[in-house]
Amino acid sequence: MSVFAKVRAPHPSQDLTLTVEKLVQRVAKKTKQSPRFSFRDLDCVLHVNANRLFIKELLRQPEIVGASMVPNVGSAMIQPLNPREVDESAISEPTYPRRHI
């Protein structure tokens, strides 16, 4: 399971990357799981790839203010309304004429 989690920015004097590493270590110790993660400090987003147990515990932490699933190829697929088979041998030319540049 892969999620993007928005992390609450700590006090300006605190190192955000260190805060996130401590957060992940704390949850890893509690769940006995070791996730793969990366952190973007520009927008305070933590990308975590872990099992459901770890993700659930991570989202319970006070530093996390929001989360969303990472989009995949299937989530962007728009199903056709009236699908029908096409005989490719019947297609002799493209629908639009080709432009010569």
Q: What is the mean pLDDT of residues 62-82?
A: 81
Closest CA to 22 of 49, 46, 52, 53: 46
| Side-chain-facing half-sphere of 77: CA atoms under 13 Å | 6
Cβ distance 9 to 44 under 8 Å? yes
Answer yes or no: is pLDDT of 56 > 80: yes
Q: Can you give the pTM of this predicted structure?
A: 0.68
Residues 2-47 have pLDDT tens digits of: 999 999 877 776 788 898 999 999 999 999 999 999 999 888 999 9
Q: In CATH, which of 2.30.30, 3.40.50, 3.30.420, 3.30.70 is domain 2-71?
A: 3.30.70
Cβ distance 28 to 54 under 8 Å? yes
Answer yes or no: is pLDDT of 97 > 70: no
